[in-house]
Structure 1
Amino acid sequence: MATPEPIARLISHVILDLDGTLLNTDCVVSQVLKPFLVKNGKKWDSKKAHKLVGKTPYEAAAVVLEDYGLPYSTEEFLSMLTPNVQ
């Protein structure tokens, strides 16, 4: 029976895209949040967007809910936004 190769040999490279060079998600976030906030009587503030950088979706949702004073739980908020992401 052959011995499996160590994982270090199977993975040769890892790409970390922390600055948006490969995938710019900032525009996606604003395209999804702007209409949602308008429906809830709020206005998107791009200056607050920096608070979302580097956060998990759950953490970012909590920040948005607090910053805009929205009356939803984090779970409700995420479930309402998820259908809008394409």
Structure 2
Amino acid sequence: MKNKNAVYFYNKENYKGPATDIPDEEIQIIDIISYQECSALPSDTLAYFTEEHRKGVKFGMFAHIPHILSLGNINVKGVNKINWSVAPVQT
């Protein structure tokens, strides 16, 4: 069975928290074979990183970046895995 894939285009004006449904207009069904990943960091993401770092608070690493949602199995053999429970990266 092939996966069903969609991209979630986060919109900060529509976001009402993690427990709410994602608005239909922020989801687009995609063909993962022809999908092209982002070539640059979205300006909203950079502004968010800059502001949260300035405030000295921990922040989400994927804010304002489109998310791929996949219904089905994903082969993760050979991918880099991140362990979020280890000490933070030093800058």
For Structure 1 versus Structure 2, the TM-score category normalised by the shorter chain is under 0.3
Identify the structure with the greater helix proportion: 1
Larger Rg: 1
More relative contact order, 1 or 2 (CA 8 Å, 6+ apart):
2
Q: Structure 1 length as normaliser, TM-score?
A: 0.26
Identify the structure with the greater strand proportion: 2
